[in-house]
Structure 1
């Protein structure tokens, strides 16, 4: 056997898993709907500001926006045009909300088929779980939680100067997973969780709000990694912790590397009981 053949045999086979591909497709669609909803809300808000003397709050549901619009009866051409456009946008918002509800239902059902317990973590809903499962696919690609943090961009980068020891937020890594972890952190900060306690402890230690958020996201990366490894071991069907996963690497990404600046923070926090989340787009 030649050296090239030996090397080829040692490589991990890339296997495309139908579940992870489907999850990536569905969560991309869900993200697109969320962006469309935000755009509609911004346009409705702008028109209402021009129609109402006192303006309107920025985050409105479709029924709230419709109720406000029903109180307006402009007589001039510009006012009537603005009202008609606002009405059309509210109708579009209703349709987008229906699509979002259906997308969330489909994501929830597909995530449940994987046997993942990611949604047990405070701050991870069906979209976050789907993004993690879809993009990570095979958690065994990451030898340590540090490798995982390096890949998702939450590992701090050394920015020390002289005697001053500092780290800054990494802008590298998988930005989709980084965003899921950011949403998880924001949700935890809204509620009485260990995440919020940890964040406040960092502030009390002299960290800026951005530094404390970076540290929290890094910690939550460890929590997610631990949960996905636990799911994989429990399922016994593959390192991704879901039916159909294999011991071979998925095609999501190449196996990441880690350098000395990507250190793990001490001990990940334990999973938190789920808290009812505020409605989000």
Structure 2
């Protein structure tokens, strides 16, 4: 049964009367098609993907009548500006998935056909999503993350090229740099002053110097981007940055995933699905099981994974207790990490939907410690906690309710002991 026949057989009382529009987007042109509530084609128009074309699309839609919704393909790429223009004009804009391949085999493919199929998808409510708004800090964060990703990849490729060139360089060149590695190698190679010449020795030294300088330039770009990311994420959601294992890059990735309209994600289950950490049912017959989700935003999935790895590396008490509990149940570490990722997604969703953060108590605890004339290293040793974890708590960089309560109790007991000693001495 074709899409049009199926839609015509629906009870018209359940479909709001009006016009439903689909847009097939491309780099240079967009094609707009409209259908009525019965799926019958009304009109279509090709517009240029420029400002004047967007204005023409608005005039075209207003001339049709009451437009219930506009489905735009590729609201995150070619259709981004058109979606912004239509939303600003007060129209309901939805993101439409690409036409199914079976439909293309049956109906063929052209811009008018694809636009009409998009309009029918809007009418049927099939394969729709609320597009991200791209007019706030989240969009700026997304741009910075894309720039950082390309800079990091170029830096890695350049470092690999330096090592590969040193493998095949003349022995005199290899002997000069053999005792250096890592960051020291880049610094030494970047400071060299090779002489110009046509021999492999001279050419190799010149190439290595330029590659090292390129690496240092890319490192400087990454540092600048990280600083800007830190400022934007701190302004957008200070509570997210205070979570254990969340830095500017991870926080920025999660904020970019949510977009500038976080209300489009209704609950924590939807957020887990969009991050690819919600198990998918894969049952059949008497066998009931779930499989790993391989969909969603893979960057957000990687960000949640990095949070879990960070907490495990730094021996977060809750994380380690959960590992011990699930190991006792027979789960492997890989399966446990996947389970924790879902719990972390729930925690992150709560922080994303409640961006305000209460006044951190760490600085007050720091003042109490300094009043007692205690060194932080001594306190960390006596309490049996990592120094950096205690330091981040005192600086207010991380929220750690369990450590904060333990620290307060420890300071209270120490203060009482000193008071008792002073009374006995008096």
Same fold (TM over 0.5): yes
Q: How does 1:248-259 map to 2 (within 5 A)?
A: none
How far apart in 2 are the matches of 1:119 and 1:223? 13
CA contact (8 A) 1:30 1:127 kept: no
CA apart distance, 1:56 = 6.9
How far apart in 2 are the matches of 1:17 and 1:43? 39
Task: Return closer, same or farther for 1:115/1:145 CA change in 2, 3 Å cut-off.
Answer: closer
Matched, 1:30 2:148: yes
CA contact (8 A) 1:49 1:55 kept: no
CA apart distance, 1:229 = 1.7
> Which residue of 118, 130, 139 corresponds with 2:240?
118
> Which residue of 171, 186, 209 corresponds with 2:309?
186
Q: What is the match of residue 139 of structure 2?
A: 21
Matched, 1:210 2:334: yes
Q: Which moved more, 1:38-47 or 1:122-131?
A: 38-47
How far apart in 2 are the matches of 1:31 and 1:17? 22
Aligned residue pairs total 231
Larger RCO (alpha carbons 8 Å, 6+ apart): 1
CA apart distance, 1:157 = 2.6
> Which residue of 212, 217, 229 corresponds with 1:95?
217
Q: Which runs of 5+ in 1 are unaligned?
A: 235-270, 275-281
Matched, 1:157 2:299: no
Matched, 1:65 2:178: no
Two-structure CA RMSD over aligned residues (Å): 3.9
Matched, 1:229 2:353: yes
Q: What is the match of residue 238 of structure 1?
A: none
CA apart distance, 1:198 = 2.9
Largest Rg, 1 or 2: 2
CA contact (8 A) 2:190 2:212 kept: no
Residue by residue over 1:200-222, the C-alpha shift from the partner in whole angstroms, topping out at 9 and shown as x without a partner, is 54344322333222222222111
How far apart in 2 are the matches of 1:149 and 1:109? 26
Task: Return closer, same or farther for 1:231/1:81 CA change in 2, 3 Å cut-off.
Answer: same
CA apart distance, 1:149 = 0.7
How far apart in 1 are the matches of 2:324 and 2:211? 41
